[in-house]
Structure 1
């Protein structure tokens, strides 16, 4: 299941996951040489920035400006992947320039 991803991410060492993905540890250990780090959320009341999770949430926020990423308009997953790559390329170029 994870082998196609592993071939593209040869330098990856750690996978950060939410508490919902605790069962993923067995698959990662059996198929890959990666370490799974579950990001624990603190049970305090109110808002708190959780480590690593804000990076993902910020990226999803950036995608909000792209109409084709707002809903699932594409029929094929490779088209969706291309749109995500295109959006990240444009976002990166805008931040550099």
Structure 2
């Protein structure tokens, strides 16, 4: 989890996220991102990290809702997180507090997978 302040552009936040992910996920070689990360980040990722950054873009001719390859994974994961009340709005004043709530929400999701009979909080 990497949470930044609101004045950080997506591409800059993406660069920070990829930089930290490099140390944690040493076998990672390919990353998918949406159109908001198009530009210098693709080149930076290849030159600095040696990874390929594939941009998943929606077709210009598309109308209405369409499921895009790999992008649905992120949307699904964010939907799971926002089911937690504390993550549905920006209640927290500090980034590390929001990150802690993300960890707690993910722990709850993993525990539910281990024992589905447990009632949600």
Q: Into which bin does the TM-score normalised by the smaller protein fall?
A: 0.7 to 0.9
Matched, 1:90 2:108: yes
Taking CA–CA contacts closer than 8 Å with sequence separation of 6 or more, which of the two structures ends up with the larger relative contact order? 2
- Structure 1: segments with no counterpart, 5+ residues: none
TM-score, length of structure 2 as denominator length: 0.70
Aligned equivalent of 1:29: 46
**Separation in 2, partners of 1:16, 1:68:** 28
Deviation at 1:95, TM superposition (A): 2.4
May I ask how many residue pairs the two structures share in their alignment? 97
Aligned equivalent of 1:58: 76
Aligned equivalent of 1:18: 34
Which one of 12, 23, 29 corresponds to residue 7 of structure 1?
23
**Separation in 2, partners of 1:3, 1:63:** 23
State the superposition RMSD in angstroms: 1.7
**Separation in 1, partners of 2:20, 2:56:** 24
TM-score, length of structure 1 as denominator length: 0.84
**Separation in 1, partners of 2:26, 2:94:** 26
